[in-house]
Amino acid sequence: MSNMISCKNLTKTYGNTNFYALNQVSMEIEEGELLVIVGASGSGKSTLLNLLGGIDKCTSGNIYFKNHDITTYNEKQLTNYRKNNIGFIYQSFNLIKELTVQENITLIATKHSNVNNILKKVGLEGKNNSYPQNLSGGEQQRVSIARALSKNFDILFCDEPIGSLDTEMSKQILLLLEELCRKDHKTVVIVTHNKDISKMADRVYTMKNGKIIHEQINKEPLSVKEIEW
């Protein structure tokens, strides 16, 4: 397994405050692994994810993606990085409500992706022309996964993907993410404050007050079905 993305002494402060949202964080993500980041609300998980995903800029430190330091990137390079390498999933889905499922998915699709295949993969066959507000939360989240899948990302960042879903729906989304990682060998990073989920990960980082305070390696991660809720 090779190193997909890593960071060194990553620090983020907002404004001129002395408050560190991230404080000297160093970590790495291996290719094809399923990484879970847990931590209390406000511990800096989202901040870390945003920095790694190139949608925010750090105050200091370095982020290496495939040996390129993305902290040196200009806006254009960063955008290309987001466009070509990163997939994002949010707690509130962030779908465009004015567009149909298919239109949402194809927004930034690469040329070769097939909408129907992707929809089939996420279990939403035939929903091409539905509008997001007519779907359940779980289905909406699947659409956002499908949107990520349409552009053939290297790494999928999921910020609280099941934060607004009930148990049954959460399970289905996690199954999908698990499948992406285990079957399709995608690198998947899941941020959550739910510690149970960490049982399905290859590796688990625990964050507190802007620092990674613990790293745990599961030699034999459980499958989602095996986790008790």
Partner 1 sequence: MIKQFKIIWKKFFKVLLSNIIIISLGVALLFGSMNGLASVHLSLDKFLEENHYPDIRILTDEEDRSLLNRFNKKNYEEIDSRLSISTILKKEKQIISVKASTYGNQNENDFYVWKEKNNYTKYYDILVEKKFSENNHINLGDTVSLKIGDKYYKFYVSKIISIPEAMVNIPINGLWGSINDYGNVYIHKNVLETETKKIKQNYYKELNQKEEELSKEEKSKLEEYNSQNEVLQKALREYNNQSSYYQNIIEELNQKNNELQTNKNQLLELSQDYLDTMNKIDDFSSLIDTYINSYNDLSDNAKNYIDKIIEDKYPDLSIEEVEFVSDILFYMIKGKVDEVFDPNTEINQQITEKILIMDTIKVLIDYQYDYYRSDEVKAVIEQLKKKEVVEDQLTYGMLIFNLSLLYSKLGEVTEDNILTYYEITNAILEEIHKVEEKLPFDSFQELYDTLENLKEMSPFLYGMVKEKYKPIIEEILKQNHKVKEELLNQVEKIYQSNKDISNKAELIKNLLIDFIKKIFDDTIKDSLKDYTEDMSGTPIEIIDRLLSQIEDGTNQANNAINKIKKELNTAYQTLVEKRMLLEDAHVLLMDSLSKAKAELSSKRKEINEYKGYESKINELLFQVKDSVDKENQLESIKEKELKDIKILDSYTYENSPVQASVNYNVVGLERVANITPTIIYIIILIVLFLFISLMIKQSKQEIAIFRLLGKTNNEIRLVYCINNFIVSVIGILLGFGLGSFLIRIITNYYRNLLRIPKAVYSIDYRSIILCFVATIIIVEIATLLATLELDKITPIEVLTKEEYQKKQTAKFTNIITKFLKPFPKFSFLVYTRNKRNFILGIICITATFSMIFTSLAYAASKDKIFEEYFDERINYDAQIFKMGTISDDEVEEIKNLNYVEDAKILRFINTTITKNGKKINITINAFDDNNDYIRIMDQKKNQLTIPKHGIIMEQHIAEELGIKKDDVITIQNKSFKVIDICFQSLGRTNYISLEDAKELESNIDSIIIKMNNKNQKQLVEKVSKDNNYLYTVDYDSLRKYNKKEFDSYNIISIIIIIFAIAIGIIIVLNINEYNLIEQKRTLAVFRSLGFHTSEISRNLAIQSIIPWILSLILGLPIGIVLSKIVLKAASSQRREYIYASGMKEIILTFIIVGLYMGIGHLLSMRKLKQINITEEIKERD
Chain contacts with partner 1 (rule: CB under 8 A):
46-47, 50, 53, 55-56, 75-76, 79-84, 86, 88, 90-92, 94, 96-99, 103, 106-108, 133, 147, 151, 160, 163-164
In this structure, the strands spanning 187-192 and 86-90 are: unpaired
- Taking the complex as a whole, the smallest distance from the CB of residue 38 to partner 1 amounts, in Å, to 17
Q: What is the DSSP secondary structure assignment for residue 220, as one 8-state letter?
A: S
Instruction: List Cα–Cα distances, 12 to 15, 52, 96, 142, 192, in angstroms.
Output: 10, 12, 29, 31, 20
Which of the listed partners (partner 1, ligand ADP, Mg ion, none) does 80 bind, with a CB threshold of 5 to 8 Å by partner kind? partner 1
163 binds, among partner 1, Mg ion, ligand ADP, none (CB under 5 to 8 A by kind): partner 1
> For residue 138, what is the DSSP state?
H
Calculated CA dihedral for residues 198, 156, 132, 55, nearest 10 degrees: 110
Return all residues near 199 (Cβ < 8 A) that are at least 6 apart. Answer: 218, 221, 222, 226, 227
- Phi, psi angle pair for 92, to nearest 5°: -95, 25
- Give the pair of three-digit tokens for residue 121: 């993969």
Tell me whether residue 42 or residue 123 sits nearer to ligand ADP (CB atom): 42
> What is the torsion angle, in degrees rounded to the nearest 10, for the CA atoms of residue 80, residue 83, residue 84 and residue 87?
140
Over the window 39 to 68, marking each residue x when it contacts ligand ADP by CB under 6 A and - when it does not, the resulting string is: x-xxxxxxx---------------------
Question: Applying CB under 6 A, does 221 fall inside the site for ligand ADP?
Answer: no
Which residue, 87 or 221, has its beta carbon nearer to partner 1? 87
DSSP class of residue 219 equals: S
Which residue number, 171 or 208, has a Cβ lying nearer to ligand ADP? 208
Using CB distances below 5 to 8 A depending on partner kind, what does residue 88 bind out of Mg ion, ligand ADP, partner 1, none? Answer: partner 1
Question: 44 vs 132, which CB is nearer to ligand ADP?
Answer: 44
The DSSP code for 203 is: E
- What's the min distance (Å) between Cβ of 13 and ligand ADP? 8
Q: In the complex, what is the shortest distance from the CB of residue 221 to Mg ion, in angstroms, rounded to a whole number?
A: 23
Contact assessment for residue 55 and residue 82, using Cβ atoms and an 8 Å cutoff? yes
Residue whose beta carbon is closest to Mg ion: 46
97 phi, psi to nearest 5 deg: -70, -20
| Residue 46 interacting with Mg ion (CB under 5 A) | yes
Contact residues toward ligand ADP (CB under 6 A) are 14, 21, 39, 41-47
